[in-house]
Structure 1
Amino acid sequence: MSDTKRRLLPMLGHTNGKRSAVTCALKCDNACAAAVCNTSSNNYFRDIVSNELSRRAVVGAGAAGALTMLVGANSAAAAPGGARIAPAVAAKRGGGKSKLAFTPIDPVDALVDDFTVPDGYSWRTVIRWGDPLFRNSPGFDANNQTAAAQELQFGYNCDYTDIIEIPGSKGRRAVLFANHEYTNENIMFPPEMPAEEVRATARAAHGLSVVELVRKNKNAPWTYVVGGRLNRRFLMETPYELTGPAAGTEFVKTIDDPSGRTILGTLGNCAGGTTPWGTILSGEENFNGYFVTPGTSDADRRYGLTPSPTGRRWEIDDPRFDTRNAGYANEANRFGYIVEVDPFDPTSTPKKHSMLGRFKHEGANVIVADDGRVVAYSGDDERFDYLYKFVSRNKVRKGNTPADRRANMNLLSEGSLYVARFQGNSVPEIDGTGSLPTDGAFDGVGEWLPLIINNRSAVPGMTTAEVAVFTRLAADKVGPTKMDRAEDVEPNLHTGKVYVACTNNTNRGVGSNTPVDEANPRTRNRDGHVVEITENGGDQTSTRFTWNLLLVCGDPSTNASTYFGGYPADKVSPISCPDNLAFDSAGNLWISTDGQPGTIGYCDGLFRVTLEGRERGRVDQFLAVPRDGETCGPIIHDDEQNVFVAVQHPGEEGSWGAHTSLFPDYVPEWSAPKRGEGALPRPSVIQVFPDERKRQGDDKPGRGRGKGKPRNDENRGGRNNK
């Protein structure tokens, strides 16, 4: 291994089990190898405003002064006629038995390069990295990729996805949204490719994609359409409108944008959500790894920004990625927001909403409260950071006119922002071992602490704009609970309860780091847990809640500190590192994982969790992704017997000419993968469906789609697991 690669991989040899050090470097800039960002005592606040303004004064001296409301798989529920259901009404309908029957698969060893589905199910690729999107798009050529080609092709490493049917199409047309979190140049491009072209092509593989889908009928698989009217790529040159308190302030102005209202591009997009009005939300997460900064201010340290050269070295080509350059001191302040995209208007300008705060957003998910206001939940995916809630100032408009839609797209620009504090009711018994308290549950009460109330700062000594831009420091001051990486946060439309995936935190209780509490009860929490929140009185706008831990994850056969909502631990599928969440039509929770190879030694997968009745806490594994891969963006269309996932970074540990995965373009031989001509791993969106339907649909792609080679001709690439 070269010295350069070693410098970029400080986690090499320090990850658990079979976790990839490459993923640590490229996805989150080696966050676990860096100092903990949140060292606050939650009872003091160091003045950052003067530091930030003085830094800008020195470094920035050169600065120039017609769509029906519809429902996606991950969005809020709809009543007949398309109107939204408030959670209290949905709860009365209750949940039911899942419409998706399957026998859980066995765990799959982390080194297996297969996409594994239950007996009786098949899978196929919907779209892959590099597939052409437009009529003038070149086909994917692994050996001759260029930035110009990539701008016209599907991006890399899709995370959040949703599929929304186009009104009036009778279920035969839809749009697919996917974001593209990061790139792995080591396995994407041949070593002889010029470094400048590598950087430019990788930049073009970031961003977002919207793609039209078609199918013959509801029993046919979806195929994507080359040249679809709604197809769109969002690139690093795409302008975004900044909304909310930060817009137009001194904290976000640059030499290229002296108004502080237009930002080019989006970075590190992770999970997301679909709004009741049919737009898509996407969370800018690990943006810090793209910038060089002085690294001296409280804000730089709190957001993990450093003066070290970045791994991708975009600062070589574009001065805005080195905030020490004159006029660009604020550039990093322009990332870390929730992005809103209208997938049905390819000419629209996407938005970045500063009212929801600036931090490492895993995503945001919206629910309509009983009074008509909308509530968005979001987690900050950093060790010892926080859980947030936004409540809009205005109410959702239920009409279907363009004016109603435009009005609803402003809902996330005004309102109130809160951060969560948890209090356990068995605190003296929480000793870090994960032992269940004598009352039989990890549970307690909580409150939403105000940061902004009706567009005005609730944090002493900070303006509303400062709270919006330096949200982590504002939250430190009011004393919320430091969580074990709160990632996806999803409200359940059947009950109004809110579920929080806390992926892990191996620093919990280590040395001088924050000790355990009942909401984060394990020292060196490597497997993560899932929190269930019930808002006071079922009111999503309430500032009080009760909570419990639904799952304390791990492999119960080797780890006694696991808990599955009271369900027998010897009857569940082992699960670790919960990440993305979704619900089926019956209200069951679905969890995709990120990190199981490094904790329990199995490939990441997708799991169903029963939430009600005698089987509450039952975990059943539905699928497993190939080696080095991560399960992302689950979509559960169980009424149509369809499940979709995005497979991110398959074969992450490989290198050019020595790829460790060939997903999804396996050669036909079933027994062992062999290299096909030009084969390499390609992050993809996958559809899973029952075997009996695999020949009912048109297996031909939409106009111009490239064809992959299935691993198993009869099973469309799927390996069944009984």
Structure 2
Amino acid sequence: MSSSTERGRRLLPLLPNHPLGRSAMTCKYRCGDACAHEAPNTSANPYFGDVVSEVVRRRGLLKAGAVLAVAGAGASLGAGAAVAKPGGRPEVDADADLGGGRRRDGLNFTAVAPNQLDEVVVPEGYQQAVVMRWGDPVLPGAPAFDFDRQTAAAQAKQFGYNNDFCGLVPLPGWNRWLMVSNHEYTTEDAQFLGWDENNPTREQVEIGWAAHGMSVVLVERDHRSGKLEAKVDRRYNRRITATTPFKITGPAAGSKYLKTSADPTGTTVLGTLNNCAGGVTPWGTVLSGEENYNQYFANGASVTDKVTKDRLARYGMASGTTTTRKWERFDKRFDLAQEPNEANRFGWVVEVDPLDPTSTPVKHTALGRFKHEGANVIIARDGRVVAYMGDDERFDYMYKFVSDEKYKPGNSKHAREHNKKLLDKGTLYVAQFTGDTPAAEVDGTGKLPADGEFDGTGKWIPLASGTRSFVPGFTAEEVYVFTRLAADAVGATKMDRPEDVEPNPRNRRVYAALTNNTDRGKADKEGATEPNPRVRNKHGHVLELEERRGDNTALEFSWKLLLVCGDPAAPDTYFGGYDKSQVSPISCPDNLAFDSQGNLWISTDGNALGSNDGLFAVPVEGRYRGRVKQFLTVPRGAETCGPWIEDDFVLVSVQHPGEIDGASAANPLSHWPDGGASQPRPSVVMSWKKDKGRICG
């Protein structure tokens, strides 16, 4: 265990000129080197903030006090917040203790310093422990993990590889939950000694299939130590893999675009792939997003139909053989030349019911198909369910879905079965943003415009509802299966890798992590826009969106950039207007979560400042709005995923530890979490106060 003070002598300085923090190894296995290829979005969608005359007119109306409903929603963003302006001093010491362990910003910890240690570093007064690691038993009969003697049969009963999202579904009783984890991808070069990507064995491939997917594990909190302990439980524990049957539901179920030789009905898919972020629903299920699934499919160039080929290209499908796993050699469904529709059966939001281990997980077509980071829901004031989603690609889009029917409260079987169908009927929308600043003031440097912040308005453009398409030239099933192309057609706003998009249950605003986009501003690419204000954007930003009158079903919204990430000393960063000398540096925001006080928690992926990735907390209300504090850092080469925030403990998924250029199973460059000469193992980690007190509140 480490704290920021106990290990202070080993902390390394920031390296501001360090390149993007992901290693070539991670890029290769996680997303198929997506950034090394051209961005799939070649549409010429205009940025509507460039229509300067309209922008200036709107600003003039606002200054004159005109009553515009959507502008009124924008004015309420951060209302009443007595924040210090950039370069100013806060009114009080932000770390002043109010007694009883409470601090003024509601976050009861001292920030961890940036570092490059091969361990999890937590604040002074906190402790941490591994809850579950790759290969730990999940199902009864699972053998103990043996790196040198792996089998597909064993992996199918063990915790999978590269765990990403982690959520807790409560069970009756004291401190008992079902922990649900995504297993996003496999890194075969780190998993197998003697790995040959050109000649994988069938056993290695089947181990990879079994290491993907999801795990459901019963966890209980020990009342003496405070630690969560994983249990091998016969009733609830479950492994979902790349070969588990899934049911396709919603308006595109049975579509001709989803039918294959193995499934002529277009209603049953084997497996889920590249599961990234997710969320727990109010009815106790888990939503999981299928993200970089395109990398598993081969031979797109062999498809002869031009329309099909163009659609595959918009989703970044490989033209030849896959560069890493070569699954197409062992199952023809991964060969687009033989099964061109199989790829259409991935890229969905999946829903798993951990409380019913006999249930068949589903893929929701009503939520559209793209590189889903995840999906997160909120119950609107009228009772309908609203889901927010991001498409994790350079220059792609943000979406939302509004259900037709209303949520039924309670845990009765009838209510749960009703609620589990809410995401099958409704309307799918894509976001279009407008800035309120003349284009000349958004010069790509990140310099704040004259009004002191990057902000504006926007609208949700309907794409489809049930069997009705709102996109000219597209049928409804084409909208759902080829959602990116439909969004291109209606002029959606290109964003800088919109990953996690989450509603805050306390203030009903929506927050989006825009991770980075180093292609912005290149000669043949879109330049800076107000919602994406920096060219060669390597640090990313966090956007805050408020819908009209706080109604999550509304079609108009206002928005602001809460954070423009990077080195606080750099002129192109912004921290909600807070004094930049009192914030933690943050780069490449990825996953988001909220605590019970409404504070935003951010995990990072690919820190481009030279430090390890970490978990950060930031108030979004009051005088400490924008004050970023680093809660922990993960080991060398790892990404911080999850996270899950309770009042008195935090869970994070430590993904791909040791994925550093030059690393391999024969040459591990991390030995976390087991130490010694051990191989690195992706794991779920818990952190809590030594006195078992509250972290927030």
TM-score of the pair, normalised by structure 2: 0.85
> Aligned-pair distance for 1:189?
1.4
| CA distance in 2 between partners of 1:583 and 1:690 (Å) | 19
SS at match of 1:439: coil
Match of 1:170 among 171, 174, 177: 174
Structure-to-structure mapping, 1:595-610, within 5 angstroms: 595-596=606-607, 599-610=608-619
Structure-to-structure mapping, 1:33-432, within 5 angstroms: 33-42=36-45, 100-109=107-116, 112-167=117-172, 169-171=173-175, 173-191=176-194, 195-217=201-223, 220-295=226-301, 297-310=309-322, 311-325=324-338, 328-428=339-439, 429-432=441-444
The answer to whether the aligner puts 1:635 opposite 2:644 as a matched pair is: yes
Match of 1:687 in 2: 686
* Root mean square deviation of aligned Cα: 2.0
Identity, % of aligned positions:
54
> Aligned-pair distance for 1:384?
0.2
Distance 1:621 1:299, change over 3 A: same
> Aligned-pair distance for 1:99?
5.4
SS at match of 1:550: strand
> Aligned-pair distance for 1:540?
0.3
Report if aligned partners of 2:428, 2:462 keep a CA contact under 8 Å in 1. yes
Report if aligned partners of 2:131, 2:683 keep a CA contact under 8 Å in 1. yes
Report if aligned partners of 1:427, 1:517 keep a CA contact under 8 Å in 2. no
> Aligned-pair distance for 1:249?
1.1
Query: What amino acid is the match of 2:250?
Result: G
SS at match of 1:358: coil
Match of 1:457 among 456, 469, 472: 469
> Aligned-pair distance for 1:692?
3.5
SS at match of 1:403: helix
Match of 2:89 in 1: none
Report if aligned partners of 1:247, 1:261 keep a CA contact under 8 Å in 2. yes
> Aligned-pair distance for 1:402?
0.7
Match of 1:497 in 2: 509
Report if aligned partners of 1:427, 1:518 keep a CA contact under 8 Å in 2. no
Match of 1:719 in 2: none
Structure-to-structure mapping, 1:392-541, within 5 angstroms: 392-428=403-439, 429-453=441-465, 455-541=467-553
CA offsets, 1:47-105, max 9 Å, x none? xxxxxxxxxxxxxxxxxxxxxxxxxxxxxxxxxxxxxxxxxxxx99x999665411101
Distance 1:144 1:514, change over 3 A: same
SS at match of 2:597: coil
| CA distance in 1 between partners of 2:458 and 2:103 (Å) | 29
| CA distance in 2 between partners of 1:105 and 1:237 (Å) | 41
SS at match of 1:511: coil
Distance 1:98 1:166, change over 3 A: farther
Match of 1:655 among 633, 647, 664: 664
Report if aligned partners of 1:15, 1:21 keep a CA contact under 8 Å in 2. no
| CA distance in 2 between partners of 1:349 and 1:383 (Å) | 33
SS at match of 1:282: strand
CA offsets, 1:309-367, max 9 Å, x none? 11110011101000211xx2200000000000001111000010011000000000000
Unmatched tracts of structure 2, length 5 or more = 1-16, 47-77, 82-101
Matched residue count: 612
Report if aligned partners of 1:97, 1:586 keep a CA contact under 8 Å in 2. no
Report if aligned partners of 2:465, 2:476 keep a CA contact under 8 Å in 1. no
Query: What amino acid is the match of 1:28?
Result: C
| CA distance in 1 between partners of 2:222 and 2:688 (Å) | 15
| CA distance in 2 between partners of 1:618 and 1:229 (Å) | 44
Report if aligned partners of 1:96, 1:587 keep a CA contact under 8 Å in 2. no
CA offsets, 1:108-153, max 9 Å, x none? 13xx212111111110010000001122111100110011110010
Match of 2:564 in 1: 552
Match of 1:720 in 2: none
Structure-to-structure mapping, 1:553-572, within 5 angstroms: 553-557=565-569, 559-572=570-583
> Aligned-pair distance for 1:460?
0.8
Distance 1:99 1:637, change over 3 A: farther
Deviates most, 429-438 or 158-167: 158-167
CA offsets, 1:154-200, max 9 Å, x none? 00011011112202x122x2100001000111111121797222111
TM-score of the pair, normalised by structure 1: 0.83
SS at match of 2:283: coil
* Structure 1 residue runs of 4 or more that deviate by more than 4 Å after TM superposition: 94-100
Match of 2:631 in 1: 622
> Aligned-pair distance for 1:222?
1.0
| CA distance in 1 between partners of 2:299 and 2:427 (Å) | 31
Report if aligned partners of 2:299, 2:321 keep a CA contact under 8 Å in 1. no
| CA distance in 2 between partners of 1:375 and 1:319 (Å) | 37
Distance 1:97 1:412, change over 3 A: farther
| CA distance in 2 between partners of 1:474 and 1:218 (Å) | 55
Query: What amino acid is the match of 2:283?
Result: W
Deviates most, 291-300 or 368-377: 291-300
CA offsets, 1:230-279, max 9 Å, x none? 00000122111101122111000001111100111000100001111110
> Aligned-pair distance for 1:656?
1.6
Query: What amino acid is the match of 2:297?
Result: F
> Aligned-pair distance for 1:18?
4.7
Distance 1:505 1:436, change over 3 A: same
SS at match of 1:631: strand
| CA distance in 2 between partners of 1:497 and 1:237 (Å) | 38
> Aligned-pair distance for 1:17?
5.2
> Aligned-pair distance for 1:408?
0.7
Distance 1:17 1:357, change over 3 A: closer
Query: What amino acid is the match of 1:646?
Result: S
Distance 1:372 1:455, change over 3 A: farther
> Aligned-pair distance for 1:29?
0.8
> Aligned-pair distance for 1:221?
1.1
SS at match of 1:23: helix
Match of 2:52 in 1: none
| CA distance in 2 between partners of 1:291 and 1:454 (Å) | 29
| CA distance in 1 between partners of 2:362 and 2:32 (Å) | 26
Distance 1:391 1:316, change over 3 A: same
SS at match of 1:251: helix
SS at match of 1:407: helix
